[in-house]
Chains A and B, each alone.
Chain A
């Protein structure tokens, strides 16, 4: 089905069109949700909420830019909102203000990823604290700048930089840990 037909079908509330749209993009968006979530269950919730928002916001879609990009923004924003609401619920502080100047990059060598499956890398990202994960995702995958991240997450630019740095350090340690503890079972 052509994209405009799909969109108009979804706007009209036709179940078949909605189903097709879901089938087309669910996998891609689920991958995004998995990166922002701490576990699969949370990713599923994000995906569900994201698609509901897409279907309910379709009327406001102005066909400026790509449709997929528009949907992706909704999914990402929804994921961020989901994490924020989760923070409030847990009453925890995820963003740590750290003096960036004193922060040092780890000097360990980054191992090659060729042999590490995607599932493991995903687990690494999911294992990051929420604040680190958000900034890392936005910076690395969504290509946001620290300024944009600061505005989006209501934090300072320095905090964004700190979070990113820490995220990198943690990920690097995990990867080194893998390469050291990898066991080949006969």
Chain B
């Protein structure tokens, strides 16, 4: 049963006056609550302002950027640059007769298991593999030393190892004979064949090439050689176009197994072949297999031979596969304003040193570096003065029933207080800027490039200087000073968008001009003191760049 409440006039009067009373909360309470909630309270963006957040985000950005660059570089780089395969251009230029298996050439395997099968569709013969070639050789010269060498060169010559088993270029041609390149090599002065430390004289005759073919290749292979070579060429083309990078493991073995190699003497023999000594055309005592690219101290024949006159232009790997990236470095200055609707603009300026990497084909790149940004932020101070010619105050002096010393004086009769807001005092905030901008060139007019630049940057507060304002009102008494300034964040995440105008002064030097808009992703000001409207920045970024 509900109790009947006895409401007296004094109750009613207090209730009417105080029930809806909503004074402004004291300023420090929320801060205390926030601190107390700190352990459990999470904001989706708050971690970005912490040191750990900055490190994590920066690391993620760097890793992603690095992976992008890495992937772009390696996907854009021909496989030949990695030393795995020869390029299609080489093959087209030099043909199958000039397959190079030198420093940038094919990595071969001695393992038979890795050798691919190359079916000979034209002749219907069994697939040609290094092992099948070996088998053919066996059948051609059973029991000979060469067969042993062919099967297992290392076994047949234990002293042959990675270094001393020289890898030599072979010029495989049709059954008619060797190419001019072969001929050139064969006619090189003091040419000779080294076999187990023994220099074998070279027959300089041109028709020696056919004798080499005759001696080296078994009968049944010789008959099918054109078809075999055609098949091999097809396989090479396939491998190159697939760009799998495993070319050298498979098809390369097939070719390489056809390549006779010169065996260098074992170190213990003390016999080192002279430079220019090449495979003897007349001597069949050559070792097959275990081909190995020449090393700096043990170059292949291709390194010591003159390029053939009719084998097309000499191929410089550096020229045929230029670096797809260009690198640049620049010093950039900026000046601009932070704009907030309803407030006076605040100035900022910065100096940055940036390094850029751009992809030549894509006309896109990234820029990063370090910068120093200073914001000249307006303070907002509220001065309260009382005019001395006041008419006085109305107040109550109250004596508490229990404490007679209890005295109140309040509420002036007329408001003679004057409040002045000062926004001329400037605060100086200095930030360290770490940007990561993405650039894209859109089009080019002569020396003028137009592009776009966008990306984030992280500004970390270094110093903050606050100047105390001075203001005096003549004939008045100072009462109080309130600081209503918007305080800036210790870490500000920003996003810049700018059209990019570049003027190429020379091949390497260019001037860049960028009118930009900056968006402050987590606001520029502390949540507690931030202005009502969202700030944004406009400015000019300009500087000189040097392209390497």
Contact = CB atoms under 8 A, between A and B. Distances in A.
**Do these two chains interact?**
yes
Interface of A: 12-16, 18-19, 22, 26-28, 30-31, 34-35, 40, 44, 47-48, 51-52, 55, 110, 113, 116-123, 125, 127, 136, 139-141, 143, 145-147, 168, 170-175, 177-178, 181-186
A181 B397 contact: yes
Nearest to B31: A48
Contacts of B41: 13-15, 18
A15 B410 contact: no
Contacts of B410: 117, 119-120
B270 interface: no
Given A15-B42, A30-B26, A172 B394 contact: no
Contact of B18 (A31, A52, A173, A184): A31
Q: How large is the interface on B (under 10, 10 to 19, 20 to 34, 35 or more residues)?
A: 35 or more
A122 B398 CA distance: 13
Contact of A127 (B15, B40, B400): B400
Interface string B1-42: 011010111110111111111111110111011101100111
Contacts of B37: 13, 15, 18, 52, 55
B52 interface: no
Interface string B60-80: 000000000000000000000
A68 to B, nearest CB: 12
B408 interface: yes
B370 to A, nearest CB: 30
A131 to B, nearest CB: 15
A112 B527 CA distance: 44
B472 interface: no
B361 interface: no
Given A27-B23, A174-B400, A181-B397, A48 B32 contact: yes
A121 B26 contact: no
Given A127-B400, A181-B399, A141 B36 contact: no
16 contacts: A22-B33, A26-B29, A27-B25, A30-B23, A31-B23, A35-B18, A110-B13, A120-B398, A125-B14, A125-B18, A140-B7, A170-B401, A174-B401, A177-B400, A178-B396, A185-B413
Contact of A30 (B13, B14, B22, B408): B22
A55 B10 CA distance: 36
A108 to B, nearest CB: 10
Interface string B472-495: 000000000000000000000000
A171 B10 contact: yes
A170 B400 CA distance: 10
Contacts of B18: 31, 35, 118, 121-122, 125, 141
Contacts of A186: 392
Given A14-B43, A55-B37, A173-B401, A19 B527 contact: yes
Given A18-B41, A171-B10, A186-B392, 14 more contacts: A12-B42, A14-B44, A15-B37, A15-B42, A30-B23, A34-B23, A44-B26, A44-B29, A47-B29, A110-B9, A121-B14, A174-B398, A174-B401, A181-B398
Contact of B11 (A22, A116, A168): A168
A147 B43 CA distance: 45
B26 A171 contact: no
B393 interface: yes
A144 to B, nearest CB: 9
B14 A171 contact: yes
Contact of A172 (B10, B43, B396, B527): B10
Contacts of A18: 33-34, 37, 41
Contacts of B8: 168
A178 B40 contact: no
B30 A113 contact: no
Contacts of B44: 14
A30 B27 CA distance: 12
Given A13-B41, A120-B396, A110 B10 contact: yes
B65 to A, nearest CB: 30
B534 to A, nearest CB: 14
Contacts of B316: none
A14 B22 contact: no
B395 interface: yes
A171 B10 CA distance: 8
